[in-house]
């Protein structure tokens, strides 16, 4: 399993957990643009999004990603 940390805002991170099979899980995507860039770079396909809680800095990018 691979773990990608994506800096978000000024003090937060978005996490992408990926397998070697081309699939990934995105954790707390507060911003969409850096997530989309990271998964395009690998490339991996998002299979699920995990939200730890409902604050804008954790859920803000969900609509754009899905």
Look at residue 14 in the predicted model and tell me its pLDDT.
98
Instruction: Measure the CA–CA gap between 64 and 66, rounded to whole angstroms.
Output: 6
Mean pLDDT of 55-60: 94
Report the share of the chain in percent with pLDDT over 70: 100
Q: Answer yes or no: are the C-beta atoms of 51 and 59 closer than 8 Å.
A: yes
Look at residue 12 in the predicted model and tell me its pLDDT.
94
pLDDT digits (tens, 9 = 90+) for 28-43: 999 999 999 999 998 9
**Which strand (E) or helix (H) includes residue 48?**
strand 45-50
Q: Answer yes or no: are the C-beta atoms of 55 and 24 closer than 8 Å.
A: no
Look at residue 3 in the predicted model and tell me its pLDDT.
96
Which letter does DSSP use for residue 28 in this model? -
Q: What is the CA radius of gyration of the chain?
A: 11
Alpha helices in the chain (DSSP H): 33-41, 56-59, 62-65
């Amino acid at each position: 399993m691979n773990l990608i940390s994506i800096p978000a805002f000024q003090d937060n991170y978005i996490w992408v957990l990926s397998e070697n099979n081309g699939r990934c899980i995105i954790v707390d995507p507060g911003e969409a643009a850096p997530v989309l860039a990271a998964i395009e770079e690998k490339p991996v396909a998002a299979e699920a999004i995990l939200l730890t809680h409902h604050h804008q800095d954790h859920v803000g990018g969900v609509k754009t990603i899905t």
